[in-house]
Amino acid sequence: MARDDAAVAVADEQSALKKKTAVSGSWMLLDCTGKGTILDVDKYAIMHRAQIHARDLRILDPLLSYPSTILGRERAIVLNLEHIKAIITAEEVLLRDPMDENVIPIVEELRNHLPPANVHQVHEDGRENLSGQHEEAAEEDVALEAICSFLGAQTTELETAAYPALDELTAKISSRNLDRVRKLKSAMTRLTARVQKVRDELEQLLDDDDDMADLCLSRKLAGASSRISCSGAPSWFPGSPTIGSKISRASRTSAATIHGNENDVEEMEMLLEAYFIQIDGTLHRLITLHEYIDDTEDYINIQLENHRNQLIQLELFLSSGTVCLSICALVCGIFGMNLPYSWKHNHGYLFKWVIIISGLVCAILFILIFAYARRKGLVGS
């Protein structure tokens, strides 16, 4: 009985663990009119709603450190740009962690950019003009604008703190200034890596027309509906004028769809290129700051080398003086010893001349050593 209870407890614990891992966290659903709804669902519901794979949803997990990514899927766009983690479809936007202080302004911008209604207009040639055709472009516009502005603001803040700190370090080298610059350089390195990843992602999209076409969700849905309508026409009445007119209209619709795809790709390319230029400018500012830090480090190293050389010169000067004084002290010590020399009697004045001559010889030796060191460039002029 106790064994059965333990097995039930283990099963309940495993079930709770599965539920805990399945919960994806809070999401905000923004429909085509800008109406927001808070969702607290598991990842399977999000995968089913957006029709994406688990590997696509994994990059939106805030507990995992995935770099900035823009993925175009059949019916959705997966955005992972710093704190902006969203899934964009042709009809709605799923935004991760909407209560985050950095995400709240994004929600307001999305509501301002989305139209109040999704109106469908059908023209005489059978093409369907969706008012939400460019909604995903507007949503991407908001996300890219937000992330570019966010990274640009962080770069400006870093520049404001870094340049005065570097100038202060140049003026006075101290432990406090060195530690301050070290922290700023670490922050700059991390920020540069984040900006570089966003830039590389945009550049990769700009280099591939198929990737940009994958971001045009509404056009893909319109093309899919056109293909369905074309495939629904019977092909066993080639002589019927009614069927022929339908086929002709379908051909014109297909051609218009292809032309529309080209236009959408061009519009998407212009949109991405604008933000690519902006993020590239931010990266260039960080590179300029990095070069300024490197120049400051080189200048400080030169100063330290100069101080080290001055210490070496001082050490050489003191060592030469010590050697000369040691020689003089040795001579004076020898002649000052209390030994019975015959020349000491009635020749006491000789000790004075020994000291004088020894001092002069040591001084001349010191001057010769210093002149030799200066000639070899060991001391400064």
pLDDT in tens, 165-220: 999 999 888 889 999 999 999 999 999 999 999 999 999 888 888 878 877 776 66
Count the Cβ atoms, other than its own, within 10 Å of residue 214.
Answer: 18
The tokens of 325 are what?
A: 């004084």
What is the spatial distance between Cα 55 and Cα 183, in angstroms, rounded to a whole number? 35
pLDDT of 301 strictly over 80:
yes
Over range 74-99, report the average pLDDT.
85
Q: What is the pLDDT of residue 190?
A: 93
Alpha-carbon distance of 146 to 144, in angstroms, equals 5
170 contacts 148 by C-beta, under 8 angstroms: no
On the question of pLDDT at 41 being above 90, the answer is no
- pTM for the model: 0.67
Q: Which amino acid is at 376?
A: K
Torsion of CA 347, 353, 354, 356, to 10 degrees: 160
**What are residue 203's DSSP bridge partners?**
none
Alpha-carbon span 348 to 313, nearest angstrom: 41
pLDDT at 237: 34
Q: What is the pLDDT of residue 345?
A: 62
Q: ∠ CA 176-178-183 to the nearest 5 degrees?
A: 95
Is residue 95 within 8 A of residue 106, CB to CB? The reply is yes
Contact criterion met (CB below 8 Å) for 4 and 16: no
* CA 38, 39, 43, 49 torsion-angle sign: negative
Encode pLDDT of 146-162 as tens digits: 888 999 999 999 999 99
The whole-number pLDDT of residue 183 equals: 94
Residue 80 CB partners (closer than 8 Å, separation 6+): 59, 60, 66, 67, 68, 69, 70
109-122 per-position pLDDT tens digit: 777 776 655 444 44
Between 65-79, 205-219, 248-262, 274-288, the lowest mean confidence (pLDDT) is in: 248-262
Report the alpha-carbon distance of residue 52 to residue 79 in Å, rounded.
Answer: 12
Residues 239-257 have pLDDT tens digits of: 334 333 333 433 434 433 4
**CA distances, 203 to each of 23, 130, 200, 206, 207 (Å):** 34, 29, 5, 5, 6
Average pLDDT over residues 34-38: 81
Interatomic CA distance for residues 79 and 59, integer angstroms? 9
> How confident is the model over 126-154, as a mean pLDDT?
70
